[in-house]
A and B are shown apart, each in its own frame.
Chain A
Amino acid sequence: MSIDRTWQALALVEDPEIPALSIVDLGLIRFVELRGDGSIEVGLSPTYVGCPATEVIHAAVRTALSDAGIGNFAVTSILSPAWTSDWITETGRRKLHDYGIVPPDRAASRPVACPRCQSIDTETVSEFGSTPCKALHRCRTCLEPFEYFKCI
């Protein structure tokens, strides 16, 4: 019961940098467990070690669980195994695409296709965009810049 309620509450926590996605879509929640003393433990993976959003996410998770009436809980940061962009869910990938960010694709041979006009005549402007998790690209066909969520 309380495990389901916890997952529901977590699914409403937005990523501070990409608010179109929840932290569940991003695959940041490693586990939700009921402990022997009746409390709930949430395992949370950081995306990048220096991501400034990490602390905001921890705070948002605590607020969301309190608001959902889950009084007794602990949020544990899980470093190993390291978070990978492969853990982004199918829903998360679709939301990224709809938001205008090309989702990570291990199979993709460069260049990355433009999310607006689908042209593959694109170039990498920089390996680092507005956040460490995204690279900056530009489409040579429609001339629009776009972001690509990097494989990590």
Chain B
Amino acid sequence: MSDLFRYVLRLGDLSLVLGQRLGEWVGHAPALEEDLGLANIALDLIGQARLLLTYAGEVEGRGRDEDQLAFLREQGAYFNAILAEQPNGDFGQTIVRQVLIDAFQLELYERMSCSADERLAAIAAKSVKEVRYHLRYSGGWLVRLGDGTPESRARVVSALEALWPYTVELFAEDDLDRRMADLGMAPRLSEVHAAWSARIDAILAEATLPRPAHRPHAWHGKRGQHSEHLGYLLAEMQHMQRSYPGARW
């Protein structure tokens, strides 16, 4: 498996899994505006995933397209960081997960838009414009919930405590991340981390929320070792293609 193929899957799977999670809110969000907002963000994320998985399939060169990569890979062949697959929980937990990942994608894509890989640069430059709006939405909600009622505050405080440890994996640079950065194809994760921290601190300050303490963790979703939640998500997402192979609209 080539470095580039694996790396592009990491990016594409993060978008795909998070997009699928947000799609679960359709018809269930607390208000119509939020239903539309979450569905629109899901749509953008799945759009990113389509571009990235299509590219991954071309890099691999075995004739797999975006659909085959999305619907016919097993859990162990998914390389998203496991923060993305964490369950929606309540609206507050969904918003916290979204802020953490939106800020990550924003800082990553901004730097990747000058990647030595032209295709990655183009996808990043296109996606970063949309991600800015995602963070305006999720960040705005985190401020309202954190600086809101005792109930809304308590919920986002506990969501932050629960999800914060998973952010470690986003920035844990492994050999693949390092090789991609050495080639100028991906940004250094340490740089992305510093920018992400500053951005998150500013949002937390406005939301009057405490930054959770750092607790060291080692997660390996980026290498295909996932939490128990991904299997259920894939079972639902892949059901049609698994049950009716080759089915088309």
Contacts and interface: CB of A to CB of B under 8 A. Distances in A.
B48 interface: yes
Contacts of B203: none
Nearest to B128: A82
Interface string B109-143: 00000000010011101110110010011001000
A51 interface: yes
B18 interface: no
Interface residues of B, number: 28
A34 interface: no
Size band of the A side of the interface? 20 to 34
B87 to A, nearest CB: 23
A82 B47 contact: no
B33 interface: yes
Interface in A77-101: 79-84
Contact of A132 (B125, B130, B140): B130
Nearest to B134: A127
B37 interface: yes
B202 interface: no
Contacts of A152: 129-130, 133
A126 B33 contact: yes
B69 to A, nearest CB: 17
Given A127-B133, A150-B133, A49 B127 contact: yes
Contacts of A16: none
A48 B47 contact: yes
Given A49-B44, A152-B129, A152-B130, A136 B33 contact: yes
A132 B123 contact: no
Q: Interface of chain A, helix or strand or loop or mixed?
A: loop
Contact of A125 (B33, B40, B43): B33
B29 to A, nearest CB: 11
Contacts of A80: 118, 121-122, 125-126
A61 B37 CA distance: 29
B129 A51 contact: no
A82 B125 contact: yes
B33 A79 contact: no
Interface string A113-124: 000000000000
A49 B47 contact: yes
Contacts of A52: 43
Interface in B137-176: 137, 140
B47 A51 contact: yes
Interface of A: 48-52, 79-84, 125-132, 136, 150, 152
12 contacts: A49-B48, A52-B43, A81-B125, A84-B129, A126-B36, A126-B137, A127-B37, A127-B133, A127-B136, A128-B33, A128-B41, A132-B133
